[in-house]
Amino acid sequence: MMWTVTRKLVLTFTVLVILIPIIPMMLWSVAETWTYPSLFPSELSFDNFTMLFDTYSLGKVITDSIIVSAIVTIVSILLAVMPAKFIGTQHFRGKIFVQTLTMMPVMAPAIIVLFGLMGVFVKMGIYKTFLSLVIAEAVFLVPYAIMVLVPIFKNYDSGIEDQASTLGINWLSRLLNVVLPNLKTGLMVSAMYVFMSSWAAYLAVSMFAPRTFNTVASLLYPAIYNGQYSNGMLASLTVLFFIPSIAFLFISTWIIGTDKMNNGRI
């Protein structure tokens, strides 16, 4: 009885802590007029969203943001899989050192690493291109992807690959039907983390994105600091910033939850 009450209290508190900052933001995004001392907006409309879409081609900005984050996620996961598998499944001297080494790009201050990359990109002639943006984001996100995947590979039964090959199954079928389903949950968690981080990336976008290229984050952060937007427009932009991340989070959680191999556990 006591436990149930405590649990309900904790749950209510947690929900409130999460929702309290979000509720005013949601209300501001759809408020036509909201003046003191009213507790709620007196009129509701989607004018803020309409204005954003009209003024800043927000449809294109959101599409570009999704494309960049999706490509960075795919690239980062692909680059992280082999080192993570190596670190997770092999025993060798200096393993901890190697694992630490993979985290080096995120240990140094981001601005220093990005300036270093800028020099390299200028020499390569790819500075301020889509490619330079993807590489710059991946440099910071591959280490995290590795960090998430290493424990997954530590628990990975690499014997199933030998088992499948002794049953005459070729490498492509092994990869698609045996290896990937076994790693699905881990890959999903890693991808979720990388996607959300890329979605929220601002510094790399501001330094390496082509001049006409914007992401939702690159619009939102200056808007907050410069004060050029009304409360309503800022709130609408923030809501738009949230939606893809939350959608990705729900999709990933659903995929993990339906994972029959792990009974929904990671």
Site residues for other proteins per CB under 8 A: 89-93, 154, 157-160, 162-171, 173, 177-178, 181-182, 184, 260-261, 263
Choose among 24, 18, 58: nearest CA to 232: 24
Nearer to other proteins, 38 or 90 (CB): 90
Min dist CB 161 to other proteins, Å, is 9
* DSSP-based three-state secondary structure for 43: strand
Contact 65, 244 (CB under 8 A): yes
Nearer to other proteins, 27 or 178 (CB): 178
Min dist CB 262 to other proteins, Å, is 8
Nearer to other proteins, 2 or 172 (CB): 172
* Token pair listed for 229: 């937007």
Min dist CB 187 to other proteins, Å, is 13
Region for residue 33 given its phi and psi (left: phi exceeds 0; alpha: psi -120 to 50; beta: otherwise) = beta
The values of phi and psi at residue 31, to 5°, are: -85, 125
Buried b (16+ CB within 10 A) or exposed e, 38-72: eeebeeeeeebbebbbeebebeebbebbbebbebb
Contact 80, 69 (CB under 8 A): no
Nearer to other proteins, 181 or 210 (CB): 181
Nearer to other proteins, 153 or 241 (CB): 153
Rg (CA), the chain: 23
* Token pair listed for 177: 């039907």
Nearer to other proteins, 212 or 263 (CB): 263
Min dist CB 145 to other proteins, Å, is 21
